[in-house]
Amino acid sequence: MKVHGAIPPLTDTSSAAAAVQIRVLRGMSARRKVSLVEDANRTARRLALAGIGLRFPGATQEERNRLLMDLLLGRELAERVYGPPPTMSER
């Protein structure tokens, strides 16, 4: 939470390393920051899809994508937008 320019301490990072991270982030352009967030989102989706694939090895790519929507949107909204989730059992 940012309060009047203060950044809360990072619990897993030394003060010196956090200072370097903050300096680097502040020096980045907005475009670069957005690019980093997009990369992180893409990676998170790939990891989530990989996890779904492990839990439902027989699922088609379409079924895996639908299950991903449950994770991203919540089951209720995903069902309203995309219909009921595929019926598969976890292995």
Is residue 14, in this structure, part of any structural domain at all?
A: no
Is residue 61, in this structure, part of any structural domain at all?
A: yes
Is residue 10, in this structure, part of any structural domain at all?
A: no
Domain limits for position 33: 29-82
Is residue 18, in this structure, part of any structural domain at all?
A: no
Is residue 1, in this structure, part of any structural domain at all?
A: no
- Kindly give the parts of the chain with pLDDT less than 70: 1-10, 89-91
Check residue 90 and give its pLDDT: 55
| Cα–Cα separations (whole angstroms), residue 4 to 1, 7, 43, 53, 67 | 10, 9, 32, 44, 40
Is residue 77, in this structure, part of any structural domain at all?
A: yes
Is residue 35, in this structure, part of any structural domain at all?
A: yes
The DSSP code sequence of 20-47 is HHHHHHHHS-HHHHHHHHHHHHHHHHHH
SS3 3: strand
Is residue 58, in this structure, part of any structural domain at all?
A: yes
Look at the chain and report how many structural domains it folds into: 1
Check residue 3 and give its pLDDT: 46
Check residue 86 and give its pLDDT: 83
